């Protein structure tokens, strides 16, 4: 019997960062020792408002939020992906980014990805109605692919899911797994979450790892339904609405990638290749 080696945490994060960190640790401490990589959703450490995101933003490698995650990674001997948190921009200290950070099991940061596509939308019949991430965050300019103990991982955040070219760029840089930490709205999640995840998995022949927020966060309500989807579009695991972790062994799905990619050589056959954004590539030691 194979042991589970990845975990997707489904959270109901809010304004209280201590509560959010405790929720993450409570789920991690219950995981089997075989788990090597833990993924959390978008807004994992803080799900709040513009002022709070600015006030809690940290410089990379500094601050109590990152310190707490680094300590968890060391204590529980797991790699942890923070789906997103506010960080000080690398280009302008007056600006902040919505960023995903990957910590290794020693607590060191192995990769950073700044969200490229801002969620600037007006959704009729949604609880919040208007979203304008550009008023909060500076958008990212780079893609990120990183080696992890369970495979080569491409990093995205939530609204990025709607932009296939980003996923194609990650696949072209060798991604076998693609993380999609999210806080999809209840309305858009019910309509689009699963079909979009399946499309990105199938068209790029990658395994999609999508940890999600669930529940009510002030005025906002999220969809949940964290899931893992293989390169054929099969849902391997799903957590519909529980604030809890789902775990599985990803090795069999990774093995099937070779056959799927040999049967349909979509990367080779693509005749509409776009120029890639500059790549930040992190390799394990």
What are the Cα distances from residue 1, in Å, to 4, 7, 248, 258?
10, 17, 12, 22
* 12 is annotated as an active-site residue: no
Secondary structure class of 7 (helix, strand, coil): strand
Q: Is 206 a catalytic residue?
A: no
The C-alpha angle with vertex 142 and arms to 138 and 148, in degrees rounded to 5, equals 120
Among residues 115, 133, 198, 206, the one annotated as catalytic is 115
The two most distant CA atoms of the chain are separated, in Å, by: 52
| Per annotation, catalytic residue among 36, 58, 133, 158 | 158
Choice among 36, 42, 58, 206 that is catalytic:
42
Enclosing H/E stretch for 56: helix 50-56
* Cα 81–Cα 211–Cα 67 angle in degrees, nearest 5: 30
Percent of residues in the chain assigned helix, strand, coil, to nearest 5: 30, 30, 40
Clarify whether 158 is annotated catalytic.
yes
Tell me which residues are annotated as active site: 42, 115, 158
């Amino acid at each position: 019997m194979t042991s589970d080696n990845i975990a997707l945490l489904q959270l109901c994060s809010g304004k209280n960062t201590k509560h959010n960190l405790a929720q993450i640790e409570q789920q991690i401490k219950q995981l089997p020792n075989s788990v090597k990589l833990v993924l959390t959703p978008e807004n994992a450490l803080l799900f709040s408002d513009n002022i709070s995101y600015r006030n809690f933003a940290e410089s990379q490698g500094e601050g109590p939020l990152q310190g707490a995650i680094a300590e968890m990674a060391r204590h529980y001997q797991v790699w942890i992906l923070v789906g997103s948190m506010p960080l000080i921009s690398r280009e302008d200290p007056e600006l902040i980014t919505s960023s995903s950070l990957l910590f290794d099991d020693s607590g060191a940061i192995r990769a950073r990805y700044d969200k490229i596509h801002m969620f600037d939308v007006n959704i009729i019949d949604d609880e919040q109605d208007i979203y304008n991430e550009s008023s909060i965050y500076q958008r990212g300019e780079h893609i990120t692919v990183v080696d992890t103990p369970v495979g080569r991982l491409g990093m995205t955040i939530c609204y990025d899911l709607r932009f296939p070219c980003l996923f194609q760029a990650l696949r072209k840089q060798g991604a076998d797994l693609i993380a999609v930490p999210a806080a999809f709205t209840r309305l858009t999640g019910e309509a689009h979450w699963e079909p979009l995840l399946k499309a990105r998995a199938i068209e790029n022949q990658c395994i999609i790892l999508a940890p999600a927020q669930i529940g009510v966060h002030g005025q906002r309500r999220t969809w949940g339904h964290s899931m893992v989807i293989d390169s054929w579009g099969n849902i391997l695991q799903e957590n519909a609405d529980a604030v809890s972790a789902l775990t599985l062994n990803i090795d069999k799905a990774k093995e099937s990638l070779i056959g799927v990619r040999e049967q349909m050589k979509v990367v080779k056959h693509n005749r509409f290749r776009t120029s890639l954004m500059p790549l930040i590539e992190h390799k394990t030691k």
